[in-house]
Homo-oligomer: A and B are copies of this chain.
Amino acid sequence: MPPFLKGKVIFFVTSNIHKFNEARRILREYKISTAMLKNVDAVEVQDDDIENVAKANAIDAVRKCKLSIVVEDTGLFIKALKDFPGPYSSFVHRTIGNDGILRLMENITDRSARFKSIVAFLDPLIAKPFCFTGEAQGKIIKEKRGSREFGFDPIFVPSNSTETFAEMSIEEKNQHSHRALAFRKFAKWYSQISGLQKS
């Protein structure tokens, strides 16, 4: 149990306040203190495996900041499209968007897809990043539904639901979500190794 971790603040390197709030809510249950760290200007690598992307980002961020950090990377993997948009989900969302995905999926019967989220943790005193994975299996529907326009949420229905992520309340989404799942795994692990107790 590394005592140097106890009581440390963990910095979540992200420019997305919604992601940060989602993570903070979960980490607070485990008495883990967090802060948001923006504009680190960390290098994002191109790699078809988002775990490699997250690891490289974590290493680069720690090199630049010398802090205890987490980074998070999410991709949407659509089976019939050979796992497109995968690691480049954010670029694809900014360019062709949900409408582009729906167009690519016209007349395609197998609509199965999954969101995968990786949380990578690294501290300047630790040799290499630790990664935690969360997945949400589901399918791409035929028309956008829901009012919260966040990423591909309006076109994705997780397996255990009839609603899209964009139709759910934030609390509801956080029960199913890949990102919440990954952060929960991280929080359990971190509270064990640093000797914290869940509230």
Q: Taking the complex as formed, is A81 at the interface, i.e. its CB lies under 8 A from any CB of chain B?
A: yes
Residues 77-114 of chain A, each 1 if its beta carbon lies under 8 Å from chain B, else 0: 00001111111100110111000100110100000000
Q: Which residues of B contact A88 (CB under 8 A)?
A: 46, 88, 91-92
Distance in Å from the Cβ of A3 to the closest Cβ of chain B? 34
Could you tell me the distance in whole angstroms from the C-beta of A88 to the nearest C-beta in chain B? 5
Given contacts A103-B103, A104-B96, A104-B100, contact A45 B48 (CB under 8 A): no
Q: Which residue of B lies closest to A100 (CB)?
A: B104
Mask: chain A, 8-21; 1 = CB below 8 Å from B; 0 = not? 00000000000000
Give the CA-CA distance A96 to B104 in the complex, in Å: 8
Q: Which residues of chain B are within 8 angstroms of A53 by Cβ–Cβ distance?
A: 46
CB < 8 Å neighbour of A81 from B43, B81, B83, B96: B96
Copies of this chain in its oligomeric complex: 2
Task: Report Cα–Cα, A78/B156, bound state, in Å.
Answer: 26
Chain B residues with CB under 8 Å of A82's CB are: 94-96
* Chain A interface extent, by class: 20 to 34
Alpha-carbon distance between A176 and B48 when the two chains are bound, in angstroms: 31
Q: Are A95 and B100 in contact (CB under 8 A)?
A: no
Q: Does A47 contact B (CB under 8 A)?
A: yes
Q: A55 → chain B, closest Cβ, in Å? A: 11
Which 10 A-B pairs have CB atoms at the shortest separation, nearest pair first? A84-B95, A44-B46, A82-B95, A88-B88, A46-B46, A43-B45, A84-B96, A100-B104, A81-B96, A45-B45
